[in-house]
């Protein structure tokens, strides 16, 4: 919990900086990709439709990145930090590796920029992201009825953090739960709340600084083990 408070302050203090850097990067790298026809079309839509579209575009990118973080072993070492929380509360969402935070912001800002959403719509999106990050991790015991199939609720994201077999690599969406139902990655038929949270095997260290170092040490160990296995194989064959 104290470690999560460190994550909260560090991640929020650097968030402004991260947004500036990613905005600059995205403008430099993808300026060629912006078409004024697309921008004009988006700007002509009602505000509510623009907000739906920006959240949908962002969540499609977030879903893909999040899935890669779970399914690519090197990326998982970074994302495991976010999953290491064994108790879920509003602060648990702040526990995140700094490189994951930067990479995800870059990836999400790219389509938002290319599609040409206005500053007003982007501001609303930024507020939605901040609120939903806290809401998804909070212990809010409210019944959402059929809405739980449309938007991400605390129950939906708590199941993403569960160490239960049925929940591993499931419920990736951050805003729209229907994406997981659409792509076949939703946790189904489970009771309302999971029993246990955290990384299976519990190998992520405690404390913010050790958690920032952990993926690098873990990937180094993984590479060394691969080289050792290859050397052993060569020795046996030779
Ligand atoms: Zn995850
Ligand atoms: Zn989470």
pLDDT in tens, 11-31: 666 666 666 676 677 667 766
Does residue 99 contact residue 32 with C-beta atoms inside 8 Å?
no
Least confident of 113-117, 145-149, 169-173: 113-117
Compute the Cα dihedral for 23, 25, 28, 30 and give only its sign: negative
Range list of H helices, 31-150: 36-43, 47-71, 73-83, 98-114, 119-137
How far apart are the CA of 133 and the centre of ligand 2, in A? Answer: 8
Q: Is the pLDDT of residue 47 over 80?
A: yes
User: Is the pLDDT higher at 21 or at 63?
Assistant: 63
How far apart are the CA of 41 and the centre of ligand 1, in A? Answer: 34
Cα–Cα distances (Å) from 46 to 23, 51, 55, in that order, read: 25, 9, 15
Least confident of 19-23, 164-168, 177-181: 19-23
Q: Is 116 exposed, middle or buried (0-12, 13-18, 19+ CB in 10 A)?
A: middle
Residue for token digits 């990479």? 103
Q: Is the pLDDT of residue 91 over 60?
A: yes
pLDDT of amino acid 137: 93
pLDDT of amino acid 16: 64
pLDDT of amino acid 81: 95
Q: Is the pLDDT of residue 9 over 70?
A: no
When pLDDT is averaged across residues 146-171 and rounded to a whole number, the result is 94
How far apart are the CA of 157 and the centre of ligand 1, in A? Answer: 9
The ligand minimizing its distance to the Cα of 88 is 2
pLDDT of amino acid 8: 72
How far apart are the CA of 137 and the centre of ligand 2, in A? Answer: 6
The ligand minimizing its distance to the Cα of 85 is 2
The ligand minimizing its distance to the Cα of 75 is 1
Residue 114 pLDDT class (50, 70, 90 cuts): confident
The ligand minimizing its distance to the Cα of 172 is 1
How far apart are the CA of 136 and the centre of ligand 2, in A? Answer: 7
Residue 5 pLDDT class (50, 70, 90 cuts): confident
Strand, coil or helix: what is 159? helix
How far apart are the CA of 82 and the centre of ligand 1, in A? Answer: 7
Q: Is the pLDDT of residue 2 over 60?
A: no
How far apart are the CA of 67 and the centre of ligand 1, in A? Answer: 8
What would you report as the CA-atom Rg of the chain, rounded to the nearest whole angstrom?
20
Residue 142 pLDDT class (50, 70, 90 cuts): confident
How far apart are the CA of 68 and the centre of ligand 1, in A? Answer: 10
Strand, coil or helix: what is 44? coil
Residue 231 pLDDT class (50, 70, 90 cuts): very high
pLDDT of amino acid 45: 93
pLDDT of amino acid 12: 63
**In angstroms, rounded to a whole number, what is the distance separating the alpha carbons of residues 182 and 11?**
32
pLDDT of amino acid 33: 67
Does residue 140 contact residue 154 with C-beta atoms inside 8 Å?
yes
């Amino acid at each position: 919990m104290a470690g999560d408070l460190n994550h909260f302050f560090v991640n929020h203090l650097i968030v402004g900086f991260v947004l500036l850097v990613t905005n600059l990067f995205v403008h430099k790298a993808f300026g060629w990709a912006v078409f004024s026809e697309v921008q004009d079309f988006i700007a002509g839509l009602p505000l509510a439709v623009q907000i739906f579209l920006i959240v949908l575009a962002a969540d499609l990118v977030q879903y893909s990145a999040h899935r890669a973080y779970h399914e690519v072993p090197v990326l998982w070492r970074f994302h495991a930090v976010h999953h290491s929380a064994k108790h879920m509360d509003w602060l648990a969402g702040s526990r995140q590796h700094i490189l994951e935070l930067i990479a995800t912001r870059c990836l999400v800002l790219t389509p938002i920029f290319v599609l040409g959403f206005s500053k007003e719509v982007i501001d609303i999106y930024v507020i939605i992201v901040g609120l939903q990050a806290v809401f998804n991790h909070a212990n809010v015991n409210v019944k959402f009825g059929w809405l739980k199939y449309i938007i991400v609720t605390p129950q939906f994201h708590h199941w993403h953090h569960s160490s239960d077999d049925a929940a591993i690599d499931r419920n990736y969406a951050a805003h729209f739960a229907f994406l997981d139902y659409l792509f076949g990655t939703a946790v189904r038929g489970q009771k309302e709340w999971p029993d246990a949270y955290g990384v299976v095997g519990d190998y992520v260290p405690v404390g913010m600084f050790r958690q920032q170092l952990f993926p690098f040490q873990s990937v180094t160990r993984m590479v060394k083990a691969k080289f050792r296995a290859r050397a052993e194989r060569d020795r046996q064959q030779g």
